[in-house]
A = this chain, B = another copy of it.
Amino acid sequence: MILKDNNIKITPQRLVVLEYLDKNCTHPTADEIYSYLKKKNPSLSKTTVYNALETLSKHGIIQSLTISGYELRYDLDHGMHHHFYCKICGRIVDIELKCPNVEKMKKYGHEIEEIHGYIKGICKKCLKEKDKK
Binding site for B on A (CB under 8 A): 64, 66-69, 72, 82, 84, 86-87, 95, 97, 99-101, 104-105, 108-124, 127
Contact = CB atoms under 8 A, between A and B. Distances in A.
A64 B72 CA distance: 16
A40 to B, nearest CB: 29
Contact of A69 (B72, B99, B105, B123): B72
* The 6 nearest A-B residue pairs measured at CB: A66-B69, A109-B124, A114-B120, A113-B121, A116-B118, A111-B122
A88 B4 CA distance: 28
Contact of A112 (B67, B117, B121): B121
* Residue among A87, A101, A127 facing the most chain B CB atoms (10 A cut-off): A101
